[in-house]
A and B are shown apart, each in its own frame.
Chain A
């Protein structure tokens, strides 16, 4: 596997379900990110992890719970979601040293909450 991978690619869940999204990066990066993309809206940053430590929580509701066990893996645990949480969830990774700031994205998980 190369780049940034995300599983599952599609997820349908009820409001009482608990599910998790997984992201893995194979680029040797130290920072990982979760973004939400809703229809006709800009990408919204949710969480940032740098060397496994959370450095940013963009006022995300507690029904979204991130976990970063190491610099290569990132999870987003979901429970009691609302229909308005239906969106494309994107994971990204980057280096945070030097002058390189490009983030590399995974293909995303299309989440539908029923």
Chain B
């Protein structure tokens, strides 16, 4: 049972346009959400996060939106740049139990930004 899902395996966007990556979750006990970016032959790199008490967090070109009622979050990249081409993972932190900092990851979405 996959609790964090990224239903789009890939996304192709023109340079300068907006990239929107989506993520859905099923567990209402998740209280913190993160986005990671991964280049080939490297580990995932933390990008941006949002607490469940907020609905938006912005950092430069990156904005994460959280819709708790829909159990949905999205990452917006504006404007998209060729260097943004990578695999993007969303992750969620479980608030309960003794699982210190345990994160559950989605399958990832491959973003390709064309010049």
Q: What 1/0 mask marks residues of chain A from 46 to 73 whose CB sits below 8 Å from any chain B CB?
A: 0010100001100000000000000000
Inter-chain contact A40/B107, CB cutoff 8 Å: yes
Contact of A104 among B46, B99, B100 (CB under 8 A): B46
- Of B12-20, B36-44, B59-67, the one contacting chain A is B36-44
Residues of B within 8 A of A96 (CB): 100-101
Bound-state CA distance A4–B46 (Å) is 13
* Cβ of A63 to closest chain B Cβ, rounded Å: 23
Bound-state CA distance A43–B90 (Å) is 11
Inter-chain contact B101/A106, CB cutoff 8 Å: no
* Cβ of A76 to closest chain B Cβ, rounded Å: 15
Residues of A within 8 A of B42 (CB): 107-108
A-B contact count (CB 8 A): 63
Q: Does A105 contact B (CB under 8 A)?
A: yes
* Cβ of B74 to closest chain A Cβ, rounded Å: 18
Q: Which of B41, B89, B93 has the most CB of A within 10 A?
A: B41
Inter-chain contact B107/A56, CB cutoff 8 Å: no
Inter-chain contact B99/A42, CB cutoff 8 Å: no
**Closest residue to B31 on the A side, CB-wise?**
A101
Residues of B within 8 A of A95 (CB): 101
**Closest residue to B48 on the A side, CB-wise?**
A102
In the complex, 14 of the A-B residue pairs with CB atoms within 8 angstroms, ordered by the A residue number, are A31-B101, A42-B4, A42-B89, A42-B105, A45-B102, A48-B101, A90-B43, A101-B32, A102-B34, A102-B49, A105-B43, A106-B43, A107-B41, A108-B43
